[in-house]
């Protein structure tokens, strides 16, 4: 089996330096490439350290909307250096209008400077978007974007945004957490995504799957990237295509978007 995790945070401190065991579990389920996303200046080093150790990891560096207020005056230079020193992607970047106590006004500016870094280098960029679908669509429509398009990770937007975003170059990743009964809307929306734009992700250690779908349980209900196997199965059921057909399709999409 050849599986691909389009979005995780393997370097996260919640994994308690247990990454060696985790990578061995991932190998056992056939997870051969994963995109590990940094979210602020504080964790970029941890991402690059892991990527040096494990060739399965595609490092990705970005400033997440939750951490925009903590950035240093030199953040963009530091990010540019990281991106240019590693064969990396850009992300996780984005817009979030749901989380309380988060100022929105600086998010667009920070998002656009990072989008520009990825566009100038035609790098894959991973985008987090919560309750800002019109804003993200308009920013991506009105600004230069990478030729290869962009990834909307854990896509939870409205069905009517799929077509305009696809036309702009969107790829969409399906999260294993969509198996939760209360996420039926997310599952149904995924059936409408063009199959050549579909990717699968865990977002581990975040977005845990329901207990009955978790093949690799961890303490504190942390998500394990080896649960990707389950995420593929859930996606195959929901899109109603055979598991093997989905793995072929996702491999093709992943390698085209993230490179091989
Ligand atoms: Zn994430």
User: Which tokens belong to 252?
Assistant: 């093709």
What CATH number is associated with residue 44? 3.20.20.140
User: For residue 47, which of 93, 8, 21 has the smallest C-alpha distance?
Assistant: 8
CA of 31 to the centre of ligand 1 (A): 18
How many angstroms separate the alpha carbon of residue 9 from the centre of ligand 1? Answer: 6
Alpha carbons 98 and 12: distance in angstroms, whole number: 23
Q: How does pLDDT run along the chain (260 residues), one tens digit per residue?
A: 899 999 999 999 999 999 999 999 999 999 999 999 999 999 999 999 999 999 999 999 999 999 999 999 999 999 999 999 998 999 999 999 998 888 898 999 999 999 999 999 999 999 999 999 999 999 999 999 999 999 999 999 999 999 999 999 999 999 999 999 999 999 999 999 999 999 999 999 999 999 999 999 999 999 999 999 999 999 999 999 999 999 999 999 999 999 96
Output the CA 8–ligand 1 centroid distance in Å: 6
Range of the domain at 95: 3-258
Q: How many angstroms does the Cα of residue 189 sit away from the middle of ligand 1? A: 20
Taking every pair of C-alpha atoms in the chain, what is the biggest distance, in angstroms?
Answer: 50
Half-sphere exposure of residue 171, counting CA atoms within 13 Å on the CB side? 27
Strand partners, 3: 31
Q: Which tokens belong to 68?
A: 């925009």
Number of domains into which the chain is organized: 1
């Amino acid at each position: 089996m050849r599986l691909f995790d389009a979005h995780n945070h393997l370097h996260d401190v919640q994994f308690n330096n247990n990454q060696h065991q985790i990578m061995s579990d991932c190998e056992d389920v056939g997870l051969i490439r994963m995109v590990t996303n940094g979210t602020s200046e504080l964790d970029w080093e941890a991402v690059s350290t892991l990527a040096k150790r494990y060739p399965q990891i595609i490092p990705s560096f970005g400033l997440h909307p939750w951490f925009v207020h903590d950035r240093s005056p030199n953040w963009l230079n530091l990010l540019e250096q990281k991106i240019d020193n590693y064969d990396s992607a850009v992300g996780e970047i984005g817009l979030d209008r749901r989380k309380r106590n988060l100022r929105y006004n600086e998010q667009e500016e920070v998002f656009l400077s990072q989008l520009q870094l990825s566009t100038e280098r035609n790098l894959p960029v991973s985008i987090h978007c919560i309750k800002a679908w019109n804003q993200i669509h308009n920013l991506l429509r009105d600004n230069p974007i990478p030729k290869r398009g962009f990834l909307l990770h854990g896509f939870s937007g409205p069905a009517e945004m799929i077509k305009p975003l696809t036309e702009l170059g969107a790829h969409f990743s399906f999260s294993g957490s969509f198996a939760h009964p209360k996420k039926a809307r997310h599952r149904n929306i995924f059936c409408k995504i063009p199959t050549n734009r579909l990717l699968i992700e865990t977002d581990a250690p975040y977005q845990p799957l329901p207990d009955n779908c978790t093949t690799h349980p961890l303490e504190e209900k942390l998500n394990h990237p080896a649960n990707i196997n389950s995420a593929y199965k859930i996606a195959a059921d929901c899109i109603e295509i055979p598991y093997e057909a989905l793995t072929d399709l996702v491999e093709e999409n992943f390698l085209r978007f993230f490179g091989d």
